[in-house]
Amino acid sequence: MHVRAAASLLLTGLVIAGCAHKPPPAPVAAIAPDPFGYLKRSAVCTVSPVTTGPAGRSVTMAVRSDDGLCAVAVSQPDGTAYASFLLQDLPEHGKAFIHNYNNQTLIDYTATTAYAGPDGFSVSLVSSDGGPRTLLHVATTVDATGVPRPAVVTPYVAPASKGSAHRTTTRSHRKTTRTTKKPQSS
């Protein structure tokens, strides 16, 4: 009888320990929804866990510039998506898109095709409880291995006209003649 009671207490303790408040899971490379079937995923997409520092929260991302996106998913401490968000600083060598899906806030980044080097941007996340905004810095390292450079398009320049570039204007002088009628004699 004492063995059953001890086992029951141990099992209850394990169940309660499993319900304890845990920190939110670290963001991972997210699989964003693709409702139209045209979103391309980058061949390389590695996302680090979010770190908190004096300047706010930050995450690093390694991505290939193959015109595919790489996404990071973040959520509030209670596990829900942020109520709103704002792209604070734009990426210089790509584009970012932020949206909510499945109780997560997804941040998609697509590097400019064939670009290689560093890039980054900042997102201001607004919590649903009206608390202070959370600033998230996303630092990206972009790789262009095996990505063909797009063809350079030369703009069309119209050939110069055959006439002179200097325009002259001629004025015509009109000679005015005045005629007077002689009075008729009767």
The model's pLDDT over 49-63, given as tens digits with 9 standing for 90+, comes to 989 888 889 999 999
β-strand 84-89 against 94-101: which pairing, if any? unpaired
How many residues does the structure list for the chain?
186
CATH number of 23-33+43-143: 2.60.40
- Give residue 109's pLDDT band: very low, low, confident or very high (50, 70, 90): very high
- Cα–Cα dist 80/22, whole Å: 14
pLDDT tens digits for 112-164? 988 999 999 999 999 988 888 999 999 999 998 887 777 777 888 888 766 55
Nearest by Cα to 71 from 59, 79, 82, 80: 59
- Cα–Cα dist 144/61, whole Å: 14
